[in-house]
Structure 1
């Protein structure tokens, strides 16, 4: 199996880190190298530009790929399936225009001009909205185009909105919510090795905001302890030899740990231990 991942940019390091945490350690992955081996002799890494990965997977140069949904929609190969949302690289493609300008809604762009690095996504958006506007493709500094009379509005990526505000642009509409996904084409999505990689990556994503809680609890307070625990599928309970107590283990959301531990102490739990989870296969 050949897995394509971004060779540089903001998606490269998180992609490599995810593979490492999933146990798919990359070997010989030097800079500017096209291929790298992994600890699995059946999995090879192909480094490519994030924007090129959809085409690599669609054409068979790779069996699966990690890249942003925005890149896949822009490539418009029509042959890729999203296997897994990897939950990083989140961003939005938005329609934006100068603040206090004539463009207040998307409909105001009928007959107007839009500058973007994403002409395919933009055209799809316009077609679905029934808007007839001209698209000017640019390769950078999109946010400047309305101020130099190249366009009336832009479609561009934003994460925090800071760049738009700095350039006195206001969001008019949401075009696409994007994040990094694992993609494969129809012919390879059910391949056993592709599914193994998807499971390994998914186990890291599933564990990201979970914690493992272990404690001792009086046997006669087990019902109270179970009522407190918001765990997945109920806690695991084990007898402690020669003691009128039970060992209770559960998985809980990280955001619930503080309140859960406090409530457990109130119902008699002791020796409470909270640990991180590296991988969780659901």
Structure 2
């Protein structure tokens, strides 16, 4: 098979990167040494596959790189997929990693309120689209204040009594005297593919989908 331009795999920084790398390696991809060097400033890395490179970007940006064709494959949480709704992203595989949930939280001393009695709420969140849609389906108008981090400060400083954010263990909420009130959706990370790339390079892209599928099945079997 004649190969044209290099395929690019977009991986998210942070906790998900640690969880996904065993699958990447099981799929047969080994990045260059700089990838594991914390002092390296590189953002794109060669691999043992001559026509495949890896870029390491923020979780939200991984979806954008793949959706607009700058990367051909990527690893993205379904929170990001739902928030952006990119039409050119195809998600063929749940990698069964990055388990967490998108939840609404409030100060502990106010958390006994019944969400069924709400009609209008103000929410600080990184996920305004998902939050508005979730509460609109329940007849509640959600006024969303977009924040990219430090969500837990919003109730303390009077910006908003409620926040919607990703929750894993709940430790951060507890440390900031907040309580999880409602789960909007459960999150896992997915392998995503650029749809035009899937159409123009079906053999290459399908090959890597299957390699990741096998890696995921191996991981499930070993649990």
* TM-score bin (small chain): 0.7 to 0.9
- 2:156: which partner in 1? 147
**2-side partners of 1:58 and 1:175: how far apart?**
25
- Does structure 1 residue 114 correspond to structure 2 residue 123? yes
- 2:211: which partner in 1? 200
Q: Secondary structure at the match of 1:13?
A: helix
- Does structure 1 residue 60 correspond to structure 2 residue 66? no
Alignment gaps of 5+ in structure 1:
212-253, 255-282
- 2:100: which partner in 1? 91
Structure number with bigger Rg: 1
**2-side partners of 1:138 and 1:45: how far apart?**
29
- 1:21: which partner in 2? 26
Q: Aligned pair in 2 of structure 1 residues 108, 141: CA closer, same or farther (>3 Å)?
A: farther
**2-side partners of 1:149 and 1:174: how far apart?**
23
Q: Secondary structure at the match of 1:150?
A: coil
> How far apart are residue 29 of structure 1 and its match?
4.1
Alignment gaps of 5+ in structure 2:
1-6
Work out the number of aligned pairs and report it: 211
Deviations 1:57-107 (A, max 9, x none): 111101111122212222332331211111111110001222342762334
> How far apart are residue 52 of structure 1 and its match?
0.5
Contact 2:32 2:48 in 1 (8 A): yes
**1-side partners of 2:88 and 2:136: how far apart?**
21
Query: Which of 133, 140, 143 lines up with 2:142 in the alignment?
Result: 133
- Does structure 1 residue 4 correspond to structure 2 residue 13? no
Deviations 1:23-82 (A, max 9, x none): 111125443323222222222222222110111111110111112221222233233121
> How far apart are residue 175 of structure 1 and its match?
1.1
- 1:174: which partner in 2? 183
Name the structure, 1 or 2, with higher relative contact order (CA <8 Å, separation 6+). 2
RMSD of equivalent CA atoms:
2.2
Contact 1:66 1:182 in 2 (8 A): yes
Q: Secondary structure at the match of 1:188?
A: helix
Higher helix proportion (structure 1 or 2): 2
**2-side partners of 1:79 and 1:131: how far apart?**
31
Question: Normalising to structure 2: TM-score of the pair?
Answer: 0.84
Deviations 1:8-29 (A, max 9, x none): 3112233333211221111254
Contact 1:11 1:67 in 2 (8 A): no
Counterparts of residues 185-264 of structure 1 (less than 5 Å): 185-189=194-198, 191-210=202-221
Question: Normalising to structure 1: TM-score of the pair?
Answer: 0.68
> How far apart are residue 200 of structure 1 and its match?
1.3
